[in-house]
């Protein structure tokens, strides 16, 4: 294949990839800014923020707050727990590594619906408040992500620097805080982000165990989407629900563009 043909293939493949990834969100964006888009029209006839007013009326603001709080709560619990497990895995100091690995993989394998269903009766009988039950289940669901992300970070850093700090006179706590912790900031931030997203995106567990009090953004969205004729509202809710993703898109694009501009690399004739 000649060089120009190869570039053409690469360009069209990139275009297709972008299309697949971003095009699905287009109608959401369009509906979110249209006030009238009826019949068979190709594009909205009138733009407006009616959908947003309706969404706010339906309880967008409190739902947003609840989603944020739930996400933060899941991150707050699942990240330290995951970091603990990640340290055991990443530095290979677990007494029973197999058991730990199985325990961490299980939440990925078991359907959340089944677990929530089973716990529903237990929770009701014992009298655990709904939101707490939701938090517990979502934390367990997020644990695999936080643990394995943290494990990768720990594996990369290694116990070496911390031991070195101990030989320089730091006690265990100092060594951890001053040496290992800062080196792991990025991994733990990523783990926290993943845990947040688990809490932010969840539908079924919140619905089942929330006891009706915990109306988060996904619940509101689900109710609106399954109804008929309120596309602008649904779209507005969907945009808000997707906002972490959209934010990430912008940030990642900027960061990656900057990183690429910095990097000087050899480019051989062979691209593959």
Judged by CB, which is closer to another protein: 62, or 245?
Answer: 245
Nearest to 244 by CA among 71, 83, 75, 80: 71
The correct pick among 33, 63, 73, 116 for binding another protein (CB under 8 A) is 116
Only one of the segments 45-53, 54-62, 111-119 lies at the binding site for another protein (rule: CB under 8 A); that segment is: 111-119
Residues 48-77 as x/- pattern, contact with another protein by CB under 8 A: ------------------------------
Separation CA 46–CA 54 (nearest Å): 16
Q: Is 98 among the residues that bind another protein (CB under 8 A)?
A: no
Q: Helices 217-226 and 60-90 meet at what angle, rounded to 10?
A: 120
Only one of the segments 45-53, 54-62, 117-125 lies at the binding site for another protein (rule: CB under 8 A); that segment is: 117-125
Judged by CB, which is closer to another protein: 57, or 270?
Answer: 270
The correct pick among 75, 143, 195, 214 for binding another protein (CB under 8 A) is 143
Cβ–Cβ under 8 Å, residues 183 and 155: no
Considering only residues 11 to 50 of the shown chain, the ones binding another protein according to CB under 8 A are 13-14, 16-18, 20-22, 24-28, 30-31, 40-42
Judged by CB, which is closer to another protein: 4, or 260?
Answer: 260
End-to-end Cα separation, the chain, in angstroms: 12
Considering only residues 195 to 234 of the shown chain, the ones binding another protein according to CB under 8 A are 197, 200-201, 203-204, 208, 218, 221-222, 225-226, 231, 234
Cβ–Cβ under 8 Å, residues 241 and 221: yes
Render 180-229 in DSSP notation, one character per residue.
IHHHTHHHHHHHHHHHHHHHHH--HHHHHHSTTT---HHHHHHHHHHSSS
Where helices occur in 110-171 by DSSP H, the ranges are 112-126, 130-157, 160-167
The correct pick among 108, 168, 178, 189 for binding another protein (CB under 8 A) is 108
Cβ–Cβ under 8 Å, residues 184 and 87: no
Judged by CB, which is closer to another protein: 130, or 218?
Answer: 218
Only one of the segments 47-55, 56-64, 245-253 lies at the binding site for another protein (rule: CB under 8 A); that segment is: 245-253
């Amino acid at each position: 294949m000649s060089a120009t043909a190869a570039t053409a293939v690469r360009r069209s493949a990139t275009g297709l990839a972008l299309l697949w990834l971003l095009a699905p969100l287009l109608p959401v964006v369009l509906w979110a800014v249209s006030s009238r888009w009826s019949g068979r029209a190709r594009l909205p006839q009138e733009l407006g923020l009616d959908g947003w007013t309706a969404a706010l009326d339906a309880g967008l603001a409190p739902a947003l707050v609840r989603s944020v709080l739930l996400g933060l709560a899941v991150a707050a619990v699942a990240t330290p727990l995951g970091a603990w497990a990640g340290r055991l895995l990443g530095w290979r100091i677990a007494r029973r590594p197999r058991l730990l690995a199985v325990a961490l993989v299980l939440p990925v394998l078991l359907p959340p619906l089944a677990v929530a269903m089973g716990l529903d009766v237990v929770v009701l009988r014992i009298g655990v408040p709904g939101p707490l039950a939701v938090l517990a289940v979502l934390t367990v669901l997020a644990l695999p992500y936080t643990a394995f992300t943290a494990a990768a970070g720990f594996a990369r850093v290694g116990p070496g620097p911390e031991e070195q700090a101990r030989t320089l006179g730091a006690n265990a706590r100092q060594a951890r805080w001053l040496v290992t912790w800062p080196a792991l900031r990025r991994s733990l931030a990523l783990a926290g982000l993943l845990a947040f997203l688990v809490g932010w995106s969840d539908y079924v567990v919140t619905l089942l165990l929330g006891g009706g009090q915990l109306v988060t953004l996904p619940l509101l969205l689900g109710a609106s989407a399954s109804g008929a004729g309120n596309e602008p509202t649904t779209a507005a809710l969907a945009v808000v629900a997707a906002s972490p993703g959209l934010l990430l898109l912008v940030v990642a694009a900027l960061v990656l563009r900057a990183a690429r501009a910095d990097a000087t690399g050899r480019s051989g004739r062979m691209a593959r």
